[in-house]
């Protein structure tokens, strides 16, 4: 399956995709058929190299699709995020036989992957995982409970993170025996993303499905996945911000209040302008971060964190401003803007809450300052 | 790979790795055997940065068999890994 950027963008913007996406968000669930169609359009293999049956796109191309898709279906976009994160884990940290074994299925979307890191007691702090991965006789037994796992209800395989004798580790665990998957209560944003609460009770998986050696699952595998995830979620936040700006601008152009078009009022133009400027700035940063990740630049993780923070801010301001411009109409339940605003709130938290990322960027600044100072002493 | 430099000696590898890690940690001195990851001297982002740095700077590819904590946990371990991959003695 090999799709061109232009074809995919056409598929997203035209045809019945926007209507179907609307239906999933309203119904609170992306259905299995929706996932299948995304797979058939080649969307699940965008980041996977062609030699494994993927589309082999570069990340700067991939973010374009994420931005566009999130404007229609933030939930389906989140499937692409977690699935790509798992593909990335296997591609970068998996043994060559594991890559040959699983990447073709993941790229084709015949298997759907979910990313199982978060626990009730371990959200943004990934060093305190309680799940255990115990290896014995060629098998790994997984025990623990994972929360808020996007598309956990539909996934065929989970990338599960936990502690082993050798430190933080991770392994692919096929869905099935020895686990209990229950739906999470729907979240306000990304409510169609089939969130699951998953309990693993000494669930066996083959030792060959371990990704990276013990001690590398956390920090290395998790962090490189989260870096990719941050760029993709930032792209989604920009898409949602731009969709909000478009809605607000269209409304301002035609709505008359007191005999004057809203768009003729300076304060309203100011709201639109501010939202649009932030969204475009965030987009430039997302693309720059995507290039760094693509090039495996050592600064990629901080660039991704910076882009995610700005994109989260942009989407927050844009949906807020748009909501004011649209007035009551835009506050109605089921209105597209309401869903965009709810997604905006979710983007402040997932893939690293703002505060955590600001801390990461601030720590980097201080480290550089210290290095410059120490460099003078050397 | 862009940024790849021709490195000739073990000492030069050691020097470049050491400089980079000193910058990451923000200190002027660091024992070559100090445990960076297991003792949380570097955070998770810096742990990845070290892998990206040696791959890019020395044009090597870190593969699964290289993923031994001993290769990434200390300045000396990283130096040995790069030197081995570049077949330096
Ligand atoms: C829709 C949705 C989908 C998700 N999908 C997945 C998934 O597929 N896989 C998965 O593993 N997880 C998933 N999650 C979980 C998500 O990754 C976590 O919600 C996120 O990591 C934050 O963890 P937490 O919610 O436990 O918040 P906490 O870690 O409890 O943090 C709460 C708040 O505390 C503040 N805070 C935390 N740390 C710091 C700090 N160091 N400095 C300052 N302030 C801080 C921040 O304001 C933060 O928002 C999903 C969540 C949602 C809502």
Q: How does pLDDT run across A112-138, given as a tens digit for each residue?
A: 999 999 999 988 888 889 999 999 999
Per 3-state DSSP, chain B is made up of helix, strand and coil in percentages (nearest 5) of 55, 0, 45
CA–CA dist A106, A88 (Å, integer): 11
DSSP symbols for B34-54: --STTTTSS-HHHHHHHHHHH
How many whole angstroms separate alpha carbon A145 and alpha carbon A38? 29
Q: How far does A178 lie from chain B, in Å, by closest CA?
A: 29
Q: What is the pTM of this model?
A: 0.95
Residue that is written with structure tokens 């990851």 in the block: B37
A41 token code pair: 């359009």
Tokens of A346: 């979710």
DSSP string, A138-164: TEEEEEEEEEEETTTTT-SEEEEEEEE
Q: Are residues B44 and A166, on separate chains, in Cβ contact within 8 Å?
A: no
Contact between residue A313 and residue A278 where contact means Cβ atoms under 8 Å apart: yes
B44·A126 Cβ contact <8 A: yes
Query: What pLDDT shows up at residue A372?
Result: 83
Phi first, then psi, for residue A170 (nearest 5°) are -150, 155
**A129 C-beta closer than 6 A to ligand 1:** no
Query: How confident is the prediction for chain B on average, in pLDDT?
Result: 88
Render pLDDT for B25-79 as a digit per residue (tens, 0 to 9): 888 899 999 999 888 899 888 999 999 999 999 999 998 889 888 999 999 999 9
Q: Which residues in chain A have their CB less than 8 angstroms from residue B23's CB?
A: 367-368, 371, 375
At CA A131, angle to CA B72 and CA B70, rounded to 5?
A: 15
pLDDT at A373: 82
Nearest atom in ligand 1 to the alpha carbon of residue A348 is 49
Binding site membership of A88 for ligand 1 (Cβ less than 6 Å):
no
State how far residue B15 is from chain A, nearest Cα, in angstroms: 13
Distance, in Å, from the CA atom of A333 to the CA atom of A336, rounded to the nearest integer, reads 9
At residue A256, the pLDDT reads: 95
Dihedral, CA of residue A376, residue B3, residue B5 and residue B9, to nearest 10: 60
Q: What pLDDT is stored for residue A2 in this prediction?
A: 61
Q: How far is CA A272 from CA A26, A237, A323, in A?
A: 27, 17, 11
Quick check: B61 contacting A, CB < 8 Å?
Answer: no
For B32-41, b/e burial (b = at least 16 CB within 10 A) is eebebbeeeb
Whether ligand 1 lies within 6 angstroms of the CB of A361 is answered as no
Residue B1 confidence class, pLDDT cut points 50, 70, 90:
very low
- For the Cβ of A350 lying below 6 angstroms from any atom of ligand 1, the answer is yes
Determine the Cα–Cα distance for residues A314 and A310; give it in Å rounded to an integer: 6
The low-confidence residues of chain A, meaning pLDDT below 70, are: 1-2, 375-378
d(CA A292, CA A286): 10
């Amino acid at each position: 399956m090999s799709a061109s950027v232009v074809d995919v963008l056409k598929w997203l913007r035209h045809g019945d995709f926007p209507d179907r996406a609307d239906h999933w968000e309203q119904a609170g669930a992306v259905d299995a058929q929706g996932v299948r169609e995304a797979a058939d359009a080649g969307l699940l293999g965008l980041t996977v190299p062609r030699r494994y049956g993927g589309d082999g796109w570069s990340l700067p191309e991939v973010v374009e699709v994420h931005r566009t898709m999130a404007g229609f279906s933030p939930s389906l976009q989140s499937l692409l995020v977690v699935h790509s994160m798992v593909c990335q884990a296997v591609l970068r940290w998996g043994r060559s036989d594991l890559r040959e074994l699983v990447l073709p299925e993941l790229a084709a979307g015949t298997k759907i992957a979910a990313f199982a890191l978060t626990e009730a007691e371990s959200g943004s702090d990934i060093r305190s995982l309680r799940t255990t991965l115990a290896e014995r006789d060629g098998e790994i037994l997984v025990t623990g409970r994972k929360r808020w796992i996007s598309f956990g209800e539909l996934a065929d395989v989970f990338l599960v993170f936990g502690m082993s004798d050798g430190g933080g580790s991770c392994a692919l665990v096929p869905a099935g025996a020895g686990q209990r998957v229950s739906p999470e209560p729907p979240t306000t944003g990304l409510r169609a993303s089939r969130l699951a609460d998953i309990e693993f009770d000494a669930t066996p998986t083959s030792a060959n499905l371990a990704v990276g050696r013990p001690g590398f699952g956390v920090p290395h595998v998790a962090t490189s996945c989260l870096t990719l995830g941050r760029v993709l979620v930032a792209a989604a936040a920009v898409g949602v911000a731009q969709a909000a700006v478009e809605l607000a601008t269209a409304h301002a152009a035609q709505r008359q209040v007191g005999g004057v078009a809203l768009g003729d009022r300076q304060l309203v133009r100011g709201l639109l302008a501010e939202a649009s400027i932030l969204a475009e700035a965030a987009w430039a940063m997302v693309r720059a971060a995507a290039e760094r990740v693509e090039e495996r630049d050592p600064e990629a993780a901080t660039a991704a964190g910076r882009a995610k923070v700005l994109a989260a801010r942009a989407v927050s301001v844009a949906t807020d401003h748009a909501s004011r411009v649209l007035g009551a109409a835009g506050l109605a339940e089921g209105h597209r803007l309401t869903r965009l605003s709810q997604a905006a709130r979710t983007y402040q938290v997932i893939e690293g809450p703002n505060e955590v990322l600001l801390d990461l960027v601030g720590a980097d600044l201080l480290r550089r300052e210290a290095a410059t100072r120490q460099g003078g002493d050397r | 790979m862009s940024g790849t430099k021709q490195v000739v000696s073990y000492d030069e590898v050691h020097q470049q790795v050491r400089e980079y890690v000193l910058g990451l940690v923000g200190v002027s001195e660091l024992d070559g055997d100090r445990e960076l990851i297991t003792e949380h001297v570097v955070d998770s982002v810096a742990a990845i940065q070290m892998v990206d740095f040696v791959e890019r700077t020395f044009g090597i590819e870190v593969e699964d068999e290289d993923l031994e904590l001993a290769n990434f946990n200390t300045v000396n371990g990283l130096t040995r890994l790069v030197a081995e991959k570049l077949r330096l003695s």
